[in-house]
Amino acid sequence: MSQPLLALQEVCKVYGQGAAQTPVLNHIDLQIAQGEFVAIMGHSGSGKSTTLNILGCLDTPTSGTYLFDGMHVEQMSTQQRALLRRFYIGFVFQGFNLLNRTSALENVELPLIYRGLSREQRQQLAMDALKAVGLEDYAHHTPGELSGGQQQRVAIARAIVTQPKVLMADEPTGNLDTQRSHEIMQILQSLNQEQGITIVMVTHEEEMAAYAHRRILFKDGQIESPELPPEAV
Amino acid sequence: MIWNAFVLALREIRRNLMRSFLTVLGIVIGVASVITMVTLGSGATAQVTQDVASLGSNLINVSPGQRMGMGVRTNAPSFKRSDVLALKNELRGVKAAAPVSRSAITANFGNAHWSTSLSGTTADYFEVREWRTQQGRLFTEAEERAGRALCVIGETVREQLFGKESPIGNQIRFHKMACTVIGLLQSKGQSSFGSDQDDIILMPLKTFQRRISGDQDINLIQVAILQGLDTSEYKRKIVKLMRDRRHLSDNEDNDFSVMDMKEIANMLSNITKVLTMLLGAVAAVSLLVGGIGIMNIMLVSVTERTREIGIRLAIGALEKEVLTQFLVESVVLSTFGGIFGILLAFVASSILAMLMSVPLVFNIWVIIAAFLFSAFIGVLFGYFPARKAARLDPIVALRHE
């Protein structure tokens, strides 16, 4: 097996200080290979969201190491992590987190602004990304004019417009009905299969987790059932 | 990156047009009032200087009593006609010296009446103050000495009493006497003191003393010296002469005062300058308040847009990029405020200058300074909210409702 894309070693995360210390993650070891589609599952408070934040370089471990494509994220500055997110990571959130009163196209363009692309390039790439999620006809609609499922598709378009290595999805179907949820999962699946984007998804729905290659179950800050990567089976 | 931030800022301002407008209103008013105040102040100063200069820079006023600030005088004997003659004859270089005694009267002609100022003086006065007639003639020295019931009137008095009729040869009545109008003075317009120089009736001093005041007192002597001579030197000469005439010993203070027009001009323009500074300072405070308004709105905006900032940070915006974005936004807002303020100031000062009839003196440096200051206020008051935005933790910001 080649070097994993994401690797957590002995990662602990503790919130608070002194007597109020609350351990959230307890010695996590986790490896995710390039091109994998992983579902992280667990009850609320099990540490799954914290793990996703650490994997997404939004948060840092209290101790332990995190290697992103061989780079030590735990040693990076805030700015370095921001640049890592900018160039390698896309995010999809439960609450969509689109900019209000801003068209779908402008929302998708947003990450490209920080890459310093010209307006034409941005619009071209953003339009392509909207096409990939089937929303090219809604480019000039604002989030308020779109359904929940459509909003989440815009959010996915925003996450993939930079062609990231990894897509971090935090309960992407949490606010959607079953049918929309399956549509979203199909989009994620095809992104994984056709563009080879590694996907790490937090969910608590078995049905949605079924789209992933493997499931990692968290309980009380520890990995309870580390399913092996498919290749290792 | 700055250009990007500028475009983003414009987009954000457009998205919240009403709020943006209200935000910059403080700056608009602040900048407009600073510029308007200073412009009107400079106009008033210029007007004063120009008016006083038009009175003649070779003019020296001699009045009884010591001037204790504006208008306050100590009691002192007034002048006599002999003082005027002495000033005129004993000092070489004095072109003319004219006594002036004034009284407020109401003049009547037919059914028309008009309250104005009556001055008794000599023919020298026309030379001292450079009065010319537009109709009729001025009275002569002989007529003055004879105490004839004649008068010369200003344009305003003519307008009020005679309307369309010609005043020359008609008799006007005031203070139980009738007086024949022999001349109409050329209009001099308003003086910087706000008084109408044409609202005047001039009559021979002797007539005035006999029929109006009933005494021999003279309250003011106006002395014109020849052009090109040093006024301060003549002031010293006049002081010496008057001290001799009034028998003042060395340890006594002057019981009269001598002022040249330059002094009066300086005094007046100093007053208007101080007033301008004061008004400008008050207006500058409103500019500061406008800046605080911007800070307020930017802080609200940061709170309102916490999630947006979280999204930006999550997708890889650097702290300094978020800082720049908000800073540029507040600078763009306040700069717009500055520009609108300048435009408003142009309109307001044009109208006000017209109403106050002072010349319009735009001071380019004040405009530049007000503009730069408004941009500076954007940086100053935008920095704190912008830093707050940039330092948000993306995880917390994304959870913000």
- Same domain? For B7 and B141 the reply is no
Residue spans of beta strands (DSSP E) within B35-124: 59-64, 94-109, 112-121
CB-CB under 8 Å, A113 with B15:
no
pLDDT band at B289 (very low <50, low <70, confident <90, very high): confident
A215: tokens are 């499931």
Token readout for A98 is 């689109």
All residues of chain B having their beta carbon less than 8 Å from the beta carbon of residue A99 are 308, 311
Taking the C-alpha atoms of residue A227 and residue A220, their distance in angstroms, rounded to an integer, is: 17
Chain B: residue whose CA lies nearest to A155: B311
Average pLDDT over residues A210-224: 91
Mean pLDDT of A18-23: 84
What was the pLDDT predicted at B134?
92
Local confidence band at B189 (pLDDT 50, 70, 90 cut-offs): confident
Query: Which one of B16, B308, B315, B325 makes the best mutation probe of the A interface by having the most chain A beta carbons within 10 Å?
Result: B315
**pLDDT at residue A233, as a whole number:** 39
- Burial label, A112 (beta-carbon count in 10 A; 0-12, 13-18, 19+): buried
Q: Is residue B191 included in any domain, yes or no?
A: yes
Q: Which of B200, B377, B176 has its CA nearest to residue B287? A: B377
Question: For chain B, what is the mean pLDDT?
Answer: 86
More confident residue, B163 or B74: B163
Given B191, B223, B254, the domain boundary residue is B254
In a domain, residue B176? The reply is yes
Q: Is A220 within the bounds of a domain?
A: yes
Q: Determine the Cα–Cα distance for residues B373 and B379; give it in Å rounded to an integer.
A: 10
Evaluate whether residue B158 is within a structural domain. Answer: yes
Q: Which residues of B have a CB under 8 Å from any CB of A?
A: 1, 4, 8, 15, 307-308, 310-319, 321, 394-395, 398
Query: Is residue B87 located within the same domain as residue B173?
Result: yes
How large is the angle between the packed helices A148-160 and A119-132, nearest 10 degrees? 130
A1 lies in some domain: no
Q: What does the pLDDT look like over A124-167, one tens digit per residue?
A: 999 999 999 999 999 999 999 999 999 999 999 999 999 999 99
Range B187-212 average pLDDT:
85
What average pLDDT does range A49-72 have in this prediction?
A: 93
Rounded average pLDDT over B212-216? 89
Mean pLDDT of the region B102-108: 92
Q: Domains in chain B: how many in total?
A: 2
Return the minimum-mean-pLDDT range out of A81-95, B259-273, B380-394: B259-273
Is there a contact between B313 and A82 if contact means CB atoms under 8 Å apart?
Answer: yes
Compute the distance between CA of residue B359 and CA of residue A209 in angstroms, rounded to an integer. Answer: 81
Residue A232 pLDDT class (50, 70, 90 cuts): very low
Determine the structural domain holding residue A111 and report its residue range. 6-232
What pLDDT, on a 0 to 100 scale, did the predictor assign at position A226? Answer: 60
Cβ contact B265:B249 at 8 Å: no
Q: Are residues B278 and B391 in the same domain?
A: yes
Same-domain pairing of B368 and B302: yes
Q: How far apart are CA B107 and CA B114, in angstroms?
A: 5
Tally Cβ neighbours within 10 Å of residue B54. Answer: 15
The answer to the question of residue B262 being in a domain is no
Q: Are residues B115 and B149 in the same domain?
A: yes
Q: Is residue B67 part of a domain?
A: no
Given an 8 Å threshold on Cβ–Cβ distance, is A58 in contact with B395?
yes
Same domain for B285 and B165: no
B375: tokens are 């941009």
Average pLDDT value for residue range B327-351 = 91
Confidence of residue B248 (pLDDT cuts 50, 70, 90): confident
Residues B250 and B103 in one domain: yes
pLDDT for B194 beyond 70: no
Asked if residue A211 belongs to a domain, the reply is: yes
Q: What is the CATH number of the domain that holds A187?
A: 3.40.50.300
Contact B314, B394 (CB under 8 A): yes
**Domain limits at B234?**
77-254
How many alpha carbons fall within 13 Å on the CB side of residue A23?
Answer: 11
CB spacing of A85 vs B319 below 8 angstroms:
no
Residue with tokens 């408004």: B374
Q: Given this model, what pLDDT does residue B201 score?
A: 94
The answer to whether position B190 is within a domain reads: yes
> Is A127 contained in some domain?
yes
Residue B272 has pLDDT above 60, yes or no: yes
Answer yes or no: do B304 and B369 share one domain: yes
8 Å CB contact of A114 and B394? no
pLDDT > 70 fraction of chain B, expressed in percent and rounded: 95
Most B CBs within 10 Å, among A97, A112, A165, A167, to test the B interface: A97
Question: Which has the closest alpha carbon to A31: A87, A70, A83, A88?
Answer: A70
Prediction ipTM score? 0.91
What is the count of structural domains for chain A? 1
Domain presence at residue B65: no
Q: Which of A38-42, B35-39, B47-51, B366-370 has the weakest average pLDDT?
A: B47-51
- Tokens 């959230």 locate to A24
**pLDDT number for residue B196:** 84
- Asked if residues B203 and B53 have their Cβ atoms less than 8 Å apart, the reply is no
**pLDDT at residue number A229:** 52
Element of type H or E holding B288: helix B261-304
In the three-class reduction of DSSP (H, G, I as helix; E, B as strand; rest coil), residue B53 is classed as helix
- Residue A180 C-alpha from the chain's centroid: 19
DSSP B241: H
Distance from CA of A3 to the nearest CA of B (A): 25
Residue A184 included in any domain: yes
- In B305-363, where does DSSP find H-type helix? 306-314, 319-355
Residue type present at position B165: E
Q: In this predicted model, what pLDDT tens digit does every residue of A77-136 receive, in sequence order?
A: 999 999 999 999 999 998 889 988 889 999 999 999 888 888 899 999 999 999 999 999
User: Side chain identity at B184, as an amino acid letter?
Assistant: L
| A72 within some domain | yes
Query: A113 and B8: CB-CB below 8 Å?
Result: yes
Rounded to an integer, the average pLDDT of B250-278 is: 83
- B163 within some domain: yes
Set of chain A residues whose Cβ sits within 8 Å of the Cβ of B315? 85-86, 90-91, 110-111, 114, 158
What's the whole-number average pLDDT of chain A? 90
Do residue B43 and residue B103 come from a single domain?
no
How many CB atoms within 10 Å of residue A116? 10
- Find chain A residues with C-beta within 8 A of B8's C-beta: 113
Which amino acid is it at B14?
Answer: R
B158 and B92 together in one domain: yes
CB contact under 8 A, A78 and B319: yes
In the structure, what pLDDT confidence band is assigned to residue B253 with cuts at 50, 70 and 90?
A: confident
A37 C-beta neighbours (distance < 10 Å), count: 22
